[in-house]
Amino acid sequence: MEKLGLLAGLGKLPVEFARAAQQMGFSVFAVALVDGVDASLAASTADLQKINIARLDTILGYLKDNGITKVTMIGKITKEILFSGEHEMPDAHMLQVLAALPDRSDDTMMMAFVRELALAGIQVFDQTALIRTLMPAPGILTKREPTETESKDMEFGFKIAKEIGGMDIGQTVVVKDLAVMAVEAIEGTDVCIRRGGQLARGNAVVAKVAKPRQDNRFDMPTVGVQTIESMIEVGAKALAIEAGKTLLVEREKVIALADVNDMTIAAM
């Protein structure tokens, strides 16, 4: 049985990947990189170890000891822990990698991690390779169609999100009446939605897209139940995602929750 490595962050996406890999006959060896990785991940893996992302040598050692030559990195890893002091002290190897970075943007940091894996003989492959069915085709996913105002805001938000993605700032924006309420940065999608939605005072539109030069090996845009819950919290009513490039996790639950809250979701 061929082995695959899984470097797992938060959310349901690592579980979706592991289940798909298991169903295809792969043996999955997973590393939980942060606290709070979904507990159900263990049921779909041959082995699951918790190793903090700061312990680079331990991660590489685990993968090599188990004969892993291919890995995917999937699930949310909150970069703000680097600045909050809540992470473990990086080992000497990780300190060396961080010291050599020209900046600490998402792509810069992830590419450095990919290079270190490659130097250890471990290839990072496309996050979506086994779960492409999670990416919706173009169309309206919910019962309710967008209003004319929402459609205009979706198109506007989509364009702005592409712009910030091109600068490697974030992938999500919140807009209302063709005005930007919030732009995602280090805080992540859910905090951005709540902040922008509060400023909009209801009926905000959220847009989440892939970066113009998106590397499919990491940081693919993802939405799920928590995204909709964050929108409900602030009265946001419309979500635009990029068709064929956004992973929609727990699709049936997401759409049902959106429908019952009179939301519209468009894959554009």
pLDDT, one tens digit per residue, over 21-56 is: 999 999 999 999 988 999 999 999 999 999 998 899
With tokens 């390779």, the residue in question is 129
In a domain, 130, yes or no: no
State which of 95, 124, 153 marks the end of a domain: 124
Count of domains observed in the chain: 2
In a domain, 43, yes or no: yes
DSSP 88: P
CA distance 137 to 267: 7
Please give the pLDDT value at position 105.
80
What's the pTM value of the predicted model, to 2 decimals? 0.86
Dmax (CA) of the chain: 57
Taking only the tens place, the pLDDT of each residue in 223-266 is 999 999 999 999 999 999 999 999 999 999 999 999 999 999 99
CA distance 14 to 249: 10
Please give the share of the chain, as a percent, with pLDDT higher than 70: 96
In a domain, 34, yes or no: yes
Residue 80: pLDDT band (50, 70, 90) is low
The CATH number assigned to the domain holding 33 equals 3.40.50.20
Please give the pLDDT value at position 213.
87
The CATH number assigned to the domain holding 251 equals 3.40.140.80
- Tell me the residue range of the domain where 43 lies: 3-124
* C-alpha to C-alpha distances, 167 to 39, 106, 108, 171, nearest whole angstrom: 35, 10, 12, 10
Please give the pLDDT value at position 37.
93
What is the C-alpha radius of gyration for the chain, rounded to an integer number of angstroms? 19
With tokens 């002290």, the residue in question is 89
Token pair belonging to 124? 């990072």
